[in-house]
Amino acid sequence: MRTKSKQKVWKKKKTIGDRISSGFIGIILTIIVIITIYPFWHVLMYSLSDSKASMGGGIFLYPRDFSILSYQLLFQTEQIFVAFGNTLFKTIFGTALSVILTALTAYPLSLPRFKGRGFFSMMIFFTMLFSGGMIPTYLLVKELGLIDNYLVYILPGAMSAYDMFILRNFFQSLPPSLEESAFLDGANAFQIFYKIILPLSKPVLAAVTMFYGIGNWNSYMDGVLYVNKSDMQLLQVYLRQLITAAGGKGALGDLSNLGSAAALTEDTMKMTVIAVSVIPVLIVYPFLQKYYTKGVLVGSVKG
Amino acid sequence: MKTMKKIISIIIMATMLLSLTACGKNNGDDKGAVKDAAKESGKEETGGDKGDVAKEDTSKRPKISILISGDNTPKSDNLVIQELEKRTNTDLEIIYVPSKDLATKRSTMVASGDLPDIFLAGGSEAQEYIDAGLIADVSKYLEKDGTNIMSNVGDIIYTSPMNQDGVYLIPTGNVAYGTNMNIRTDWLKNLGLEMPTDLDSFYNVMHAFTFDDPDKNGKNDTFGLAADSSFKSFDPIFGAYGIPFDSAIELEDGTVTTWAKHKNFLDAMTYIRKLMNDGLVEPEWATITNMDMFGKLWTGQAGALNFQCAGPTNNWMPARYTEDPAPTFDFAVIAGPDGKHGVKPNFALVTKGYLISADCEDVEAALRVADYCNSEEGNELLYFGVEDVMFRWIDEASGKYEYIGEYTDSATHRANGGFVYAEFMKPINNCELRTMNEQSKAGTQLAYDEMLPAVNIIRSLETRQDYGADLDQIIKEMYVAIITADGDIKAIYDEYMKRWDSEGGLEYEKEATEAWKEQNGQ
C-alpha cells in the first residue's frame, strides 16, 4: 500500500514539461525502432513479393502481389535440408565443444596460483596477432585426414583466443574467497569449477556461446576449402550459390528448363536467402540477449 | 533437479560422441549413395543401365578428380557422373566449388600439393604451374585420345605460348558472344518507324522511344537506350566509328595501343554525349547496376539494349518480361559516317584452358574424359543429362528437346547433374548454341560477323600485368569525365591520355608493338 501511494505521489508530480519530454523521447525511440526494424521488414516483404512487381523498388510495407515462389524454389530441393542439417550440426556441436574447451582453458589461466599462466596466456595471445594462414591450415587439416570429414567443421576452429580471454577476464573478476570457502567445505577443483564458477558465469558464457554460435552459423570458407562433397555442404555456401545462380539467369544463363523459377530475379532470391539465413538467429537471440551485453561488458573491463 | 541436470549433461555428451564417431566415418558409403540416387531418380526402372553399373566391378577403373566451378548443387554422385564414368571407363571424383571461390580453392590445393587431375587455369598462373613441372604434357596422347579436342581446337592449340615444348594447356576454343543492339520492334511498329540503320536514324528512334509514347499508355514513362556505366552499352556506336572498344588497336604508324587513341574516339564520344544530354538514355546510367539495367528492359521502360541477343530473344523469353504481350526484338546494324559498322571482337583464348596434373596416375584416362566432354555427345550428356532418362530430342536437327519424367523439374534435373557441368570442356558447337531459337541463332551469327578487326596479342605482356588495371581505370575515368563535362572535351581527353602515357601506357605501347610485330613475323 505504501509503495502504491508513493507511486501515486510520483505520478502527481509529473508536470506538463515532463509529459512533453516523455512523449518526445517516446517518439524518438519509436523512430529508432522503426529505422532498426524496417530494413529487415523490407527484406521480408520483398522476398514475399512477386519478382516482376518488385522491380520498381521503393518502400515495402507489405508484399506486392504476394508470392512465395522464391521460398518454394529454395525449399523444393533436398539440398537445402542437407545444407541446413550440416550447418545445424556445426552450430550445435561446434559451439558446445568450443564453449567447453574455452571454459576449461580459461579457468586455470585465471588462477593466480597457476605458475606459467603468463607464458600460456602469451602463447594464446600470439595466435591473435599471427594466424597460421590459409595454406598451412589447409595442409594441417589435410594431414589430419579431415578433408571431407565432418570433424573439420568443429575441430580446427574449436577455440577462439579472443573468447578465451573474455572468459578468463570474467573468471578473474570473481572473488577468490568463493573458491577458498568451497575448498574449505571439501570441494575439489572440478566441483569448484562446475558448481561455483560456471553458475556464476552464466552471462559471459551466454555471450561466448552467442559469439561461437553466430560464427558457426555464418561459417563459409570451411565449406569451400575443406569439403568437396555436396552432401557435406554448408548452408551459407548453398545460399551463396543460389544467389549467384539467380544472377547468372538474369544475364545469359539457361532459363529454358527453369519453369516458373525463371520469373524470379536475383534481388528476390537475395532477399529470400537473407530472410532464411537470419531468421533462425533472430529467434535465438532474444533468449540470450539479456546475458549477452552484460557478459561482454563484465568480461572486457578487467585486465 | 540436480540429478536431472546430470542426466541431461550425460545424454548430451553421449550424443555428441556418437555423432562425431558416426560423422567421422563417411568413406565407403558412396556406393550406397549411388544406389540411392539411382533409386530416387527412377533410372533403375526406366533405363536398366544403373543396375549394370552397380554390379560392374568398378575398382579397376582409373580414378580421376576434376575441379569444376558452378553455382548449382548437384549430388556428389549423380546420374550424369555415373553415365560419364561408364562411357569413359573411369571413376570420377568431381570437386564442385562456387564460381567465385574457384581461384581460392585451386591455389590452396595447388600450394598444398593436392592438385586435382583436371582443372581450369589461365594466364601467368597456368604458366607458373607449367614451369614448376606440375602439369602433364599430353601431346603424345592427343592423336589417340584427343580426337575431339583436336577437331575443336587443333588449329589454335599449338599457338598457345604455354604449348611451345609440348601440350600442357588445352584451350577451350570458345569465342564469347558478340553483342547486338536489340531494338523493340513492337514499339517501332506502334510508332510507324523502321529499324535504324545509321547513326541519324538510331538517334531518331531513340528520340521517339523517349518522347512519343511508344507503348501507347498515355504516360511519359519510357526512354530509348538501357545503359550503365560500362562502354558495352555503346558498343555498336563505337563500332560505327570503326572503334573496337576495350581492345588493342594498331595505329597507322604501326604502334599498338589502346582503343581510346583511335582517331575517331572523340567523334564517337560526341555522339554518345548527344544521346545522353538529350535524355534518350537511361537517366541513372552512372550508378545503375547491371541487373537493374536489365530490369528497365523487362518492365517496358527501355526500348533498346546492347547485349548478347541470347538474353533478350532467347533466355529471357517470356519469363522476365512484365508486359503482356511480351515485347519483340530485332537487331540493328548501325553504320557510321564512313559507312563502317561493327562490334567489339572476341578471340578464342589460347592462354586459358584445362590442365592435367603431372601427378595424375593415368593421364591417358584423364585426357579421355576431357576429350569425351569436348564432343557434341559428351556436351549433350553434361547439358541435358542422360538421353531417354532425363531428356529426349523432339527434333535434334532444329535443336528442339524436352525434359522427361521428374526431370521436368529443374531442381531435380540439376541435382542429378543436368546442366551443372555444361561449361566443362564445352565444344564449339555446344548445346547452348544448338538449342537456341532461330532468331537468336541468327543474331548470334550476326554478332560474330560484325566483330571488328583488332590486335590480339597471344603472349602475356609484362607491362599489361604491371599497369593494365591502372591504365584501364584511367580510360574509364576519362569516359565518365567526358560524358559529364560541360566544357571542352578535347582538353579533358588530352589530360587523361597524358596521364595514361605517363603511368605506364608508353611502356605498354612499346612492348605491345614489338610483340605484335613478332607475332606477325616482322
Cβ-based contacts of B99 with chain A (< 8 Å): 244
Kindly state whether B9 is in contact with chain A, defined as any CB-CB distance less than 8 angstroms.
no
Residue-level pLDDT at B13 = 53
Average pLDDT over residues B72-80: 86
Q: Given a cut of 50, is residue B346 above it in pLDDT?
A: yes
What ipTM is given for this predicted complex? 0.71
Domain B2-176+349-374 fold is D-Maltodextrin-Binding Protein; domain 2 (3.40.190)
User: How far apart (Å, rounded) are the C-alpha atoms in residues B414 and B385?
Assistant: 9
For an interface test with A, give the residue of B95, B104, B112 to mutate (most A CBs within 10 A): B112
Task: Give the model confidence (pLDDT) of B112-126 as tens digits.
Answer: 888 999 999 988 899
Q: Given a cut of 50, is residue B61 above it in pLDDT?
A: yes
With an 8 Å Cβ cutoff, are A248 and B322 in contact? no
Average pLDDT over residues A230-249: 79
Helices (H) and strands (E) in chain B, counts: 23, 13
If residue A223 lies in a helix (H) or strand (E), which one and from where to where?
helix A221-225
Tell me the DSSP string of B341-390.
--B------SSEEEEEBTT-S-HHHHHHHHHHHTSHHHHHHHHH-SBTTT
User: How far apart (Å, rounded) are the C-alpha atoms in residues A84 and A238?
Assistant: 9
Task: Give the model confidence (pLDDT) of B436-460 as tens digits.
Answer: 999 999 999 999 999 999 999 988 8
CA distance B246 to chain A (A): 20
Across the interface, of A139, A225, A244, the residue whose CB is closest to B99 is A244
With an 8 Å Cβ cutoff, are B411 and A253 in contact? no
Tell me the DSSP string of B110-134.
HHTT---SEEEEEHHHHHHHHHTT-
Kindly state whether B429 is in contact with chain A, defined as any CB-CB distance less than 8 angstroms.
no
Task: Give the model confidence (pLDDT) of B202-243 as tens digits.
Answer: 999 999 999 999 999 999 999 999 999 888 999 999 999 999
CB A233 within 8 A of CB A83: yes
With an 8 Å Cβ cutoff, are B415 and A77 in contact? yes
If residue B439 lies in a helix (H) or strand (E), which one and from where to where?
helix B438-450
Q: Given a cut of 90, is residue A75 above it in pLDDT?
A: no
Cβ-based contacts of B295 with chain A (< 8 Å): 55, 265
CA distance B326 to chain A (A): 13
Across the interface, of B291, B408, B415, the residue whose CB is closest to A78 is B415
CA distance B73 to chain A (A): 7
Q: How confident is the model at residue B53 (pLDDT cuts 50, 70, 90)?
A: very low
CB B261 within 8 A of CB B251: yes
With an 8 Å Cβ cutoff, are B12 and A230 in contact? no
Average pLDDT over residues B193-202: 97
Amino acid symbol at B463: T
Of B58, B74, B55, B57, the closest CA to residue B66 belongs to B74
CB A245 within 8 A of CB B71: yes
With an 8 Å Cβ cutoff, are B96 and A230 in contact? yes
The Cα angle at residue A138 between residues A134 and A144, in degrees rounded to 5: 150
Of B367, B120, B346, the closest CA to residue B235 belongs to B346
Give the residue, B289 or B189, on which the prediction is more confident: B189
For an interface test with B, give the residue of A79, A257, A264 to mutate (most B CBs within 10 A): A257
Q: Do B2-176+349-374 and B180-332 come out as alike in CATH topology?
A: yes
Which segment of A13-27, A255-269, B231-245 scores lowest on mean pLDDT?
A255-269
Region of B461 please: left (phi>0), alpha (psi -120 to 50) or beta: beta
Cβ-based contacts of A267 with chain B (< 8 Å): 291
Cβ-based contacts of B322 with chain A (< 8 Å): 52, 55
What residues does B198 pair with on adjacent strands? B335
Give the residue, B280 or A114, on which the prediction is more confident: B280
Helices (H) and strands (E) in chain A, counts: 16, 0
With an 8 Å Cβ cutoff, are B24 and A150 in contact? yes
Region of A122 please: left (phi>0), alpha (psi -120 to 50) or beta: alpha
Domain boundaries, chain B: 2-176+349-374, 180-332, 462-476+489-519
Residue-level pLDDT at B12 = 53
Sign of CA dihedral B303, B305, B309, B310: negative
With an 8 Å Cβ cutoff, are A225 and B108 in contact? yes
With an 8 Å Cβ cutoff, are A142 and B112 in contact? yes
Main-chain dihedrals φ then ψ at residue B237, nearest 5 degrees:
-70, -45
Residue B87: helix, strand or coil by DSSP? helix
DSSP A194: I
Alpha helices (H) in A144-220, listed in sequence order? 161-173, 176-184, 189-191, 198-200, 202-217
Residue-level pLDDT at B375 = 95
With an 8 Å Cβ cutoff, are A256 and B100 in contact? no
Strand order in the sheet with B180-184: B223-226, B302-307, B180-184, B329-332
Cβ-based contacts of A149 with chain B (< 8 Å): 23-24, 26
User: How far apart (Å, rounded) are the C-alpha atoms in residues B349 and B495?
Assistant: 34
Q: Given a cut of 50, is residue A282 above it in pLDDT?
A: yes
**Chains A & B: contacts with CB separation below 8 Å:** 137
CB B181 within 8 A of CB B306: yes
Tell me the DSSP string of B440-487.
HHHHHHHHHHHBPP-B---SPPHHHHHHHHHHHHHHHHHHHHHHH-SS
- With a CB cutoff of 8 Å and minimum separation 6, the contacts of B6 are none
Which of the residue ranges A237-251, B101-115, B243-257 has the most confident prediction, judged by mean pLDDT? B243-257
Percent helix, strand and coil across chain B, each to the nearest 5: 50, 15, 35
Bond preceding residue A203 cis, omega within 30 of 0:
no
Between strands B352-356 and B169-171, the pairing is antiparallel
Residue-level pLDDT at A67 = 87
Residue-level pLDDT at B449 = 96
Task: Give the model confidence (pLDDT) of A126-185 as tens digits.
Answer: 988 888 888 889 999 999 999 999 999 999 989 999 999 999 999 998 888 888 888 888
Which segment of B44-58, B95-109, B265-279, B357-371 scores lowest on mean pLDDT?
B44-58
Q: How confident is the model at residue B378 (pLDDT cuts 50, 70, 90)?
A: very high
CB B382 within 8 A of CB B74: no
CA distance B113 to chain A (A): 9
Residue-level pLDDT at A74 = 80
Alpha helices (H) in B135-184, listed in sequence order? 139-145, 147-153
pTM of the entire structure?
0.76
Residue-level pLDDT at B27 = 38
CA distance A100 to chain B (A): 11
Residue-level pLDDT at A238 = 87
User: How far apart (Å, rounded) are the C-alpha atoms in residues B9 and B3?
Assistant: 10
For an interface test with B, give the residue of A67, A256, A258 to mutate (most B CBs within 10 A): A256
Average pLDDT over residues B341-347: 95
Query: How many Cα neighbours within 13 Å face the side chain of A218?
Result: 10
Across the interface, of A76, A151, A250, the residue whose CB is closest to B411 is A76
Across the interface, of A135, A154, A252, the residue whose CB is closest to B111 is A135
DSSP B192: T
Residue-level pLDDT at A179 = 86
Q: How confident is the model at residue B421 (pLDDT cuts 50, 70, 90)?
A: very high
In terms of CA atoms, which chain B residue is nearest residue A267? B291
With an 8 Å Cβ cutoff, are A244 and B20 in contact? no
CA distances from B274 to B123, B288, B477, B483 (A): 40, 20, 19, 9
CA distance B101 to chain A (A): 7
Residue-level pLDDT at B298 = 86
Residue-level pLDDT at A7 = 52
Residue-level pLDDT at A284 = 79
CB < 8 Å from A in window 52-81 of B: 70-76
Residue-level pLDDT at B317 = 66
Q: Given a cut of 60, is residue A260 above it in pLDDT?
A: no
Which segment of A94-108, A203-217, B332-346 scores lowest on mean pLDDT?
A203-217
Q: Given a cut of 50, is residue B26 above it in pLDDT?
A: no
Of B237, B280, B285, the closest CA to residue B262 belongs to B237
Give the residue, A66 or B447, on which the prediction is more confident: B447
- Hey, what's the cell of A261? 523459377
CA distances from A232 to A156, A222, A276, B281 (A): 16, 11, 19, 48
Residue-level pLDDT at B34 = 35
- Hey, what's the cell of A163? 573468447
For each of the domains in chain A, give its residue range(s) and CATH number, in order of start.
23-67 (no CATH), 74-176+202-303 (1.10.3720.10)
Quote the mean pLDDT of chain B.
87
- Domain at B180-332, CATH class: alpha beta
User: How far apart (Å, rounded) are the C-alpha atoms in residues A234 and A231?
Assistant: 9
Cβ-based contacts of A233 with chain B (< 8 Å): 73
Q: How confident is the model at residue B9 (pLDDT cuts 50, 70, 90)?
A: low
